[in-house]
Amino acid sequence: MFNKRNLLACLLAGILMLSVTACGGNPAVSQAPAANDAPAASTPAEGAPADASPADAPPAAEKVGKTVLKCSFNQSIDNPEAQTMVDLSDKLFDATEGRYSIEVYANELLGNQKDSLELVENGAIEMAIVANSLVENVNADFSVIGCPYMFDSIDHQKKLFQSGKLDELYATTEEVGFTVLSAYSLGPRCIYTKEGPITTPEELTGKKIRVMQSDTMVQMVNYMGGVGTPMSQGDVYSAIQAGTLDGAENNVITYTDLKQYEVAPFYSETNHLMIPDLLIINTDILKGMSAEDQKALKDLSTESVNVMFTLAANLREEYRNTCKELGVTFTEVDITPFQNNMQPLIDSVANRSDMSKAIYQEILNLR
């Protein structure tokens, strides 16, 4: 009788075989298909571009190692996080003298983020980039790095991610089958609305704002003064258009990719949240590498944080200019009242455990 690991591995093998047949080559160097070619069971990716296609995607890493680590990703190959992995692959190839490289399977080819996390846990695939909120289900202490108004700025968040102060937290997932290598972020999420900007909690009163399907995210918007309304990303555009929602919240990259500026042209810079995405690897795979190669991967993963943040910053600036040309109104916001309202949630998350308290203190120290 197959156990869950065997079943997942067999399903993955079938997917990879189909990928090879379709692309006519080695999956290690093949281009992932578009999001609408993902397995039928997949749900729409959080923030995935609606019109992603392989024709628009940049080429994959050119250097293919003796061992290719498959990395699952839920958005397009031209996303800053995916491009960071392409860069990391080439550097890993050089650092390990061709022993290892990484191939990014974008657009949910290997499943959505939840499926990908399980596949990495079970060793059916080697790596994935997944939302911090999923890893919170493994260890609630991860909530402290994904809490609203936890960071003063993008640079503040990057400092923590590069500091080495999260290594103990990252290692806590090893017992369930995966290890966290690094954390990324596409930038601050802001409120955007259909009718007029939001500059105070009072102006948000009664407004239904879409959030991810998470109790914490619902609480977040409620504390900010609005009505947190969980909804899948694929329904947001039409819900705002129809008036079911008054707006939503997201980073400017996703806002632009999904063309939500067409129905919600007022982008208010509340900068309330910078959700981490985590690069994970199967623990057995990592420990099966030589000490030298493990160190190379870990060091390069830490260095990749700067690469990713730079790529994301450039894209945010480009998209911001594009949105302005398309008529979007960007409004600076005094975030102090929103932060004050959020303090009870911050206190609850920061004091959850001794580890959360220690990480919170490090966050304060880096301000």
State the pLDDT confidence band at 23, using cuts at 50, 70 and 90. Answer: very low
Asked whether this chain's domains 4-185+276-317 and 189-274+319-365 adopt the same fold, the reply is yes
Nearest to 311 by CA among 29, 81, 15, 19: 81
Identify the residue with better confidence: 6 or 203. Answer: 203
Q: Are 29 and 105 in contact (CB under 8 A)?
A: no
Q: For domain 189-274+319-365, give the CATH number.
A: 3.40.190.170
Evaluate if residue 32 carries a pLDDT over 70: no
What is the mean predicted confidence (pLDDT) over 69-96? 94
pLDDT interval class at 12 (50, 70, 90): low
CA distance 162 to 69: 23
How do the domains of the chain map onto residue ranges? 4-185+276-317, 189-274+319-365
Nearest-10 Cα torsion for 2, 112, 179, 366: -160
| DSSP label at residue 63 | -
- pLDDT at position 17 is 38
Q: Which of 211-215, 291-295, 304-308 has the lowest mean pLDDT?
A: 211-215
Mean pLDDT of 146-172: 95
247 strand-pairing partners: 193, 209
Angstrom distance (rounded) from CA 170 to CA 172 = 6
35-49, 72-86, 256-270, range with the lowest pLDDT: 35-49
- Token match 């022993």: residue? 99
Name the CATH architecture for the domain at 4-185+276-317.
3-Layer(aba) Sandwich (3.40)
